[in-house]
Chains A and B, each alone.
Chain A
């Protein structure tokens, strides 16, 4: 090394220190109003979230007066009028159903995203992208009624088959022949609902993978799959995780489609093919109409738990997506 080749070479002589220049910005009245109103809009968003949390907490206080918070978090029953209610089984069932949906959705979402961004012919790619985004916008109630009228009677056969042939797997065990409204069916409908959502996030990230690296991988003699595995998937890892977490957030909070399919139970059972499923949002939607004030307060408390969980999932999802390399590309 004779001469510094790079500007940040440690051997280079440091540049002469520059005197600090202080720039004073005196904004005009119009600009001050503009800054203030834009900041107000941003602050309002923050405030709205805090308000939602505060009012849900406030509303559930009525119920926490008759039952302690720790009992609420573990209690499996739901008889709020007798101060005997909790999210012990509710939360379990909510998470069970959502994870079933996400697990079933994952391979399909990944395949759909990879197909659209990597394998589809150029002419088809554009319309498939459009189709994927359109499907992500289909109202959930449509999935709900389709699941209820079309899927439930048909998926019964698959449930029966699974429980007969694979009964040695504990989660597939069904002894009394009750197959309708199972977590499996609810999870399937949720999976179909979240596949387009997750797939369009993933496709978006995959398509941003740098073309130079793709060409490099192919030029080194890699196969298409080799290129995808070594360039596209590592690049899109943040998008895959973020997309699935976003989908998980949707699945956790999905109300109407689930409400149409569940038959409410308050037990913790991992027999996913057996009748009986439940989620927090479905319980709120089903019970709200006939609930007494104290029961509504209990439902609000359950809603608060759901709020905190979805908030966490979404914040983590957005942080993962923005921290990885694929997310940083959108920063200009």
Chain B
């Protein structure tokens, strides 16, 4: 596997390494390409697809009187696979035919799933776009009545709430998460293993359980009222393990030689962590934080339990009910009024937009997505293939030219 266009194991082709061989007059043997598709194969594929389509149409629509697009598609895909297998068996042995069948099957399933997810995102944008006005970001729902048009009012209360709650959650969970990561990768100790297991386990705690926990401990036992801060605490329970886990992975990528160098120069441990480890992993830590944000920015359950509902802007997260964006969507979509539902779609679209922007920011820092070549840290060059965050390319360190 040297290159994507020629990835194969060719037995009799000359290895690409010695360039002196080229131009020596000896005719190069024809390269066997494992993954190349010839026109006849493409025609085979198209022909089988068409044949399956015709057959299924005849049986499904005409003879048995079934209906429904999804059912039709499922039958078509199954028929297509069977017919493709038969056609391939005509020309190839069992192994080659199976290889081709699996290729088509995996490609087909992947295409279906990517298409379905694209439909989801596209549908949200399609429904939300028509009622998105610029004042969605600047006014709240103060003057919105049941008969107001869908473009009236906006989501300022929800946006302010989301920003403040996520900000507060960051203040709580970043020191804790990064601290836990430093503990797991730098300090270690007997507690290391249970802490790592619990961080993993906590990563999967449903946000609604975090919400009812905060309800019990903060609102019932400590006698507080619903507020944005209560929501932020619930969010930070979901956010902290994500930050800690991702951060730990990044810290482990810092080359040990750097640590040893720092200690060998007589540095103290905390100075090593502060001056060497954390700065080296800076971009990865930022990615971890942004991933933590994307994990919680769409959680509606904490606001549902701890936040109360408010259609007007509440700037103070410590007092009074405060809305946030996912809860805004959840609430309005359940209203029996069409205009409210349309506003919910707008809110959902804004939410998707926020996640998208955050994601691009995270990728820019993580160094895999660098349109201008920035954001490439020390880690990326040295141990790229070992980081789950950073895209791994098994072939890239295998000896590409």
Q: How would you classify the secondary structure of chain B's contact residues: helix, strand, loop or mixed? A: helix
Residues of A close to B386: CB separation below 8 A: 329-330, 332
Instruction: Report if A306 contacts B (CB, 8 A).
Output: yes
Determine the distance from Cα of A27 to Cα of B209 in the docked complex, in whole angstroms: 41
A window 115-166: CB within 8 A of B: 115-117, 119, 121-123, 125-126, 128-131, 133-135, 137-146, 148-150, 154-155, 157-158, 160-162, 165
Residues of A close to B105: CB separation below 8 A: 111
Instruction: Report if A52 contacts B (CB, 8 A).
Output: yes
Instruction: Report if B22 contacts A (CB, 8 A).
Output: no
Residues of B close to A317: CB separation below 8 A: 200, 204
**What are 26 of the A-B contact pairs (CB < 8 Å)?**
A34-B270, A35-B269, A41-B176, A41-B180, A46-B198, A49-B202, A116-B110, A119-B106, A130-B368, A133-B359, A145-B348, A146-B124, A157-B68, A158-B71, A162-B71, A209-B394, A218-B8, A223-B98, A224-B35, A225-B103, A256-B326, A284-B212, A303-B209, A311-B201, A311-B204, A318-B200
Determine the distance from Cα of A137 to Cα of B359 in the docked complex, in whole angstroms: 8
Q: Establish whether residues B329 and A141, one from each chain, have CB atoms under 8 Å apart when the complex forms.
A: yes
A window 236-251: CB within 8 A of B: 246, 249-250
CB < 8 Å neighbour of A288 from B209, B253, B305, B326 = B305
Determine the distance from Cα of A332 to Cα of B379 in the docked complex, in whole angstroms: 14
Q: Establish whether residues B106 and A130, one from each chain, have CB atoms under 8 Å apart when the complex forms.
A: no
Q: Establish whether residues B300 and A141, one from each chain, have CB atoms under 8 Å apart when the complex forms.
A: yes
Query: How many inter-chain residue pairs (CB < 8 Å) link A and B?
Result: 328
Residues of A close to B69: CB separation below 8 A: 154, 157
Determine the distance from Cα of A130 to Cα of B367 in the docked complex, in whole angstroms: 12
Residues of A close to B392: CB separation below 8 A: 204, 207-208
Determine the distance from Cα of A35 to Cα of B189 in the docked complex, in whole angstroms: 10
Instruction: Report if A181 contacts B (CB, 8 A).
Output: no
Number of chain A residues close to chain B: CB under 8 A: 119
Q: Establish whether residues B268 and A218, one from each chain, have CB atoms under 8 Å apart when the complex forms.
A: no
Instruction: Report if B82 contacts A (CB, 8 A).
Output: no
Q: Establish whether residues B110 and A212, one from each chain, have CB atoms under 8 Å apart when the complex forms.
A: no
Q: Establish whether residues A310 and B204, one from each chain, have CB atoms under 8 Å apart when the complex forms.
A: yes
Q: Establish whether residues B9 and A44, one from each chain, have CB atoms under 8 Å apart when the complex forms.
A: no
Q: Establish whether residues B206 and A142, one from each chain, have CB atoms under 8 Å apart when the complex forms.
A: no
Q: Establish whether residues B116 and A45, one from each chain, have CB atoms under 8 Å apart when the complex forms.
A: no
Instruction: Report if B27 contacts A (CB, 8 A).
Output: no
Q: Establish whether residues A165 and B66, one from each chain, have CB atoms under 8 Å apart when the complex forms.
A: yes
Residues of A close to B269: CB separation below 8 A: 27, 31, 34-35
1/0 per residue, CB under 8 A from A, across B23-50: the answer is 0000000000011000000000000000
Residues of B close to A306: CB separation below 8 A: 206, 209
Residues of B close to A223: CB separation below 8 A: 34, 95-96, 98-99
Instruction: Report if B175 contacts A (CB, 8 A).
Output: yes
Given contacts A41-B175, A223-B96, contact A318 B201 (CB under 8 A): yes
Across the two chains, which residue of chain B brings its CB closest to A332?
B252
Given contacts A131-B114, A143-B120, A145-B345, contact A38 B187 (CB under 8 A): yes
Instruction: Report if B197 contacts A (CB, 8 A).
Output: yes
B window 70-122: CB within 8 A of A: 70-71, 95-96, 98-99, 102-103, 105-110, 112-114, 116-117, 119-121
A window 302-332: CB within 8 A of B: 303, 306-307, 310-311, 313-315, 317-319, 329-332
Instruction: Report if A42 contacts B (CB, 8 A).
Output: yes
Residues of A close to B70: CB separation below 8 A: 154-155, 157-158
Residues of A close to B176: CB separation below 8 A: 41, 44-45
Determine the distance from Cα of A223 to Cα of B88 in the docked complex, in whole angstroms: 15
Instruction: Report if B184 contacts A (CB, 8 A).
Output: yes
Q: Establish whether residues B1 and A218, one from each chain, have CB atoms under 8 Å apart when the complex forms.
A: yes
Most chain B Cβ neighbours within 10 Å, of A39, A160, A306, A331: A39
